[in-house]
Amino acid sequence: MRLFIAVNISENNHKKIAGIRTILKKAGADIKWVTDENIHITLKFLGDTGEEKLAGIKAKIETAIAGTKQFEICLDCCGFFPSEISPRIFFIGIKNGSKNLSGIAGKLDAELSEIGFSKETRPFAAHITIGRFRSGKGSEKLAKEAVKFPGETIRETVEKISLIKSTLTPAGPVYETVEEFCLEK
């Protein structure tokens, strides 16, 4: 199974992000846009994982989030990874709540390293990937359009963390929630 741990975004906010994406598509950048149902915040990518590790992963997620209270996030402006000059990822950043997400990601990283998963080498950057560049074509025009969309109007209460299975298909990845882990109220 190809697994990752994430915060899913509500359907209501999918629609708001889709509205922004529809306008940004007019910039003509060479991007494969993320579909609405696949919009999420990745906390830890696990990759190909044997089913025998599933119980251990679930236990480590429970340990990592123990005592963590629900919190609100607020989206920020759009950006590019690694940079606007040589973009690979187009994203919406997280303003409020990014420290909470970073804390959870750090705990997940530490806990899962105890059962054989590699620790992250890059610092955690809370974001929602909304597109992957095929080439840099149109990135400058996209950058000019993207600054028009501050994300403050998009808020989300993080109530749970999800373990997600990703199946790669010719049409793109299909995500299936394996299990959800609730944060404290």
Give catalytic residue positions.
40, 127
Which residues make beta-bridge pairs with 70? none
Q: State the DSSP string of 130-141.
A: EEEESSSTTHHH
Which residues are CB-neighbours of 8 under 8 A, at least 6 positions away? Answer: 40, 160, 162, 177
Q: Do 1 and 57 form a contact (C-beta atoms < 8 A)?
A: no
Please tell me whether residue 80 adopts helix, strand or coil conformation. strand
Interatomic CA distance for residues 19 and 31, integer angstroms: 16
